[in-house]
Every structure is written in structure tokens, then in C-alpha cells.
């Protein structure tokens, strides 16, 4: 058990150092530009979904906010926002770009959020939770700072998608390899034991169990991200065609009409898919 705790801590430390780095923060800011990297348009859908669960005037924490795209989206929705991140370089970018929006910036660690118990009407975390082996510990901390009946919303990887893809696998696709929700699979997928390779996932039943254990009600798990990172696609067409597919998708996303269709499809059709159809889910919880 102590060895497992030390490995979890090693991944925590690596991830923290990774994001605190000014060099990595600058790369992250650059790669978040949808004009240079059209696939980043997908994240606008994430911000729309997360914002939809709150009313104007709600006090919302954006945990792991980075340079603050979600914080800005929430503020434009009318929320009073606190953006919290461990990276001072990313927070500085948020201070630069937020203008006069109602966004408070706090430096802090997700394992010890700098906030009072029950301070927020809701908590969101965009593309953040899957970085951590013990993501459930962070979710418990998010629950601590959320008011009773408040909403906690975040995207998370779908175990059902990977399992279904492996059951019907036609091609080996190393580009899609990453370790999942246990240290055992982490080391199996990454013999060199590089913490960058870790990405957590959960099934519906596993997410329900975690929520029940920390005083949350699992309200909904909504499928999301059909087109880009999807094990079913990767394991069906193989690595070479997957590279070609993603390149073509990025080109398509430059076209406003095609982008509008993809957004419509993701918002109107994909949420009704079976969970195994997409690589990601929106997880919506309520604090009891």
C-alpha cells in the first residue's frame, strides 16, 4: 500500500511540475489557439456545456482553470467566477485576458483548494480530472467547497468506449495507448513509467460508486467527443488512417459551416448515444 501511495505521489508531483513550468504554460497557451489548431474549437463545446448548468449570478469555481477559457465563458454567461490553478504563468495570462469580467484569480492546489467549505454554488473542471490517478480525491475536495444542492460538472474519459473498441479491434493503434484508472494498467501501458502517459477513466458504475462515497448524487453522464479522440474509430481504421483522419478533421473545422454541423451533431445527437460510442462523457453531480 505504501508503494502505491508513493507512486501516486510521484505522478502528482510530476504533473504539478509539468504545469508549473513557464515553458509548458507558454506551449499550452499557444496550442489552445483555435485559429492555429482548429481542433481546439472542440473545447468551445465543453465551455457551452459546463456553463449551461448554472444561472447568472451563481458563484462558480473553475478548478484547474489554466489561462481561463472556461472562466471567461462562465463569466460571459453571467456567473461570478473564481479561477484556480497551480500555474502562476497560466493565471497571469488569465489576468491579462479577463478584462473587467467578474473573475477572481486564486493560485492553489486541487488537493487543497483555497476556499471555504460550501463557498460555491457550483464547481467545474475542464479537461483536468483525468490527469490524476486519485481523481476521486480531487472530486471529494470539489464537493467540500460546493454548497448543498450545488452542481459539480466535468468531462471524464469513458471506460465503456475503450472496452468496446478493444472487443471489436481490427488494428493495433499505439497512438491511442494510455494507461487508465489503475496503477497496474499504468505500468503495463507504459513500461518506462512516464507519468505523462497517465489518463484516468471510469465506467458509469464506477463513477456512481465514487459519487455515493463522497456525498454526491450522479445526475447524468452525457456522451461527448464522438469525432476526435474515439477508440472505436482508432481501432477500426488503424494508426496511419487515424493520422490522416485527424488531419482532415482539423481542416474541416476551419470551415464555418462544417464546424457548425459538428457542433450541432455533438449537442443534439451525441448525448443520446450509448456511452460506449464516445471517448468522453460530461459528468454532472449534485452535492447532497
C-alpha cell at 223: 456522451
Mean pLDDT, the chain, whole residue set = 88
For residue 38, being part of any structural domain is answered with: no
Beta strands at 216-224 and 280-287: parallel, antiparallel or unpaired: antiparallel
For residue 37, being part of any structural domain is answered with: no
C-beta separation of 24 from 31 below 8 A? no
Helix (H) or strand (E) holding 17: helix 2-20
CATH number of 53's domain: 3.40.50.150
Confidence category of residue 149, pLDDT binned at 50, 70, 90: very high
The CA angle 44-92-198, to the nearest 5 degrees, is 60
For residue 35, being part of any structural domain is answered with: no
Residues ≥6 apart with Cβ < 8 Å to 147: 118, 119, 120, 121, 287
For residue 73, being part of any structural domain is answered with: yes
- pLDDT value of position 169: 87
The conformation of residue 171, written as its DSSP 8-state character, comes to S
The conformation of residue 61, written as its DSSP 8-state character, comes to E
Q: What are the Cα distances from residue 206, in Å, to 107, 136, 146, 211, 218?
A: 31, 11, 22, 9, 11
> What are residue 154's DSSP bridge partners?
283
For residue 189, being part of any structural domain is answered with: yes
* Number of domain units in the chain: 1
- pLDDT value of position 3: 66
pLDDT of 126 above 90: yes
Residue range(s) defining the domain that contains residue 73 = 2-29+43-287
* Least confident stretch, 113-127, 130-144, 161-175, 247-261: 161-175
Query: Average pLDDT for residues 249-274, to the nearest whole number?
Result: 94
Residues ≥6 apart with Cβ < 8 Å to 142: 61, 63, 113, 123, 125, 152
For residue 93, being part of any structural domain is answered with: yes
Distance between CA 218 and CA 215 in Å, rounded?
10
pTM above 0.95, yes or no: no
pLDDT tens for residues 187-239?
444 444 455 556 789 999 999 999 999 999 999 999 999 998 899 999 899 88
Query: Average pLDDT for residues 32-46, to the nearest whole number?
Result: 85
Q: How is 76-136 classified by DSSP, letter by letter?
A: HTT-EEEEEES-HHHHHHHHHH-TTSSEEEEE-BTTB-SS-TT-EEEEE-SS-GGG-TTHH
Amino acid at each position: 500500500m505504501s508503494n502505491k501511495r508513493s507512486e501516486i505521489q510521484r505522478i502528482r508531483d510530476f504533473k504539478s511540475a509539468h504545469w508549473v513550468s513557464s515553458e509548458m504554460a507558454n506551449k499550452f497557451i499557444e496550442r489552445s489557439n483555435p485559429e492555429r489548431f482548429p481542433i481546439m474549437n472542440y473545447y468551445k463545446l465543453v465551455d457551452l456545456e459546463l456553463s449551461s448548468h448554472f444561472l447568472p449570478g451563481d458563484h462558480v469555481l473553475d478548478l484547474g482553470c489554466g489561462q481561463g477559457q472556461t472562466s471567461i465563458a462562465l463569466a460571459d454567461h453571467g456567473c461570478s467566477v473564481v479561477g484556480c490553478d497551480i500555474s502562476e504563468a497560466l493565471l497571469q495570462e488569465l489576468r491579462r485576458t479577463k478584462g473587467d469580467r467578474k473573475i477572481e484569480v486564486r493560485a492553489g492546489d486541487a488537493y487543497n483548494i483555497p476556499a471555504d467549505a460550501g463557498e460555491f454554488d457550483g464547481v467545474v473542471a475542464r479537461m483536468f480530472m483525468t490527469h490524476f490517478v486519485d481523481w476521486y480525491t480531487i472530486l471529494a475536495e470539489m464537493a467540500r467547497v460546493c454548497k448543498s444542492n450545488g452542481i459539480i460538472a466535468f468531462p471524464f474519459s469513458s471506460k465503456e468506449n475503450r472496452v468496446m473498441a478493444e472487443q471489436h479491434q481490427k488494428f493495433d493503434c499505439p497512438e491511442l495507448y494510455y494507461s487508465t484508472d489503475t496503477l497496474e494498467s499504468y505500468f503495463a501501458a507504459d513500461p518506462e513509467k512516464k507519468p505523462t502517459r497517465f489518463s484516468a477513466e471510469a465506467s458509469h458504475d464506477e463513477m456512481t460508486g465514487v459519487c455515493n462515497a463522497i456525498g454526491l448524487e450522479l445526475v447524468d453522464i452525457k456522451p461527448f467527443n464522438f469525432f476526435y479522440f474515439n477508440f472505436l474509430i482508432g481501432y477500426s481504421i488503424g494508426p496511419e488512417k487515424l493520422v490522416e483522419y485527424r488531419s482532415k478533421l482539423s481542416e474541416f473545422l476551419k470551415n464555418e459551416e462544417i464546424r457548425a454541423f459538428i457542433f450541432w451533431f455533438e449537442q443534439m445527437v451525441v448525448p443520446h448515444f450509448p456511452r460506449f460510442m464516445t471517448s468522453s462523457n460530461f459528468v454532472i453531480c449534485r452535492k447532497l
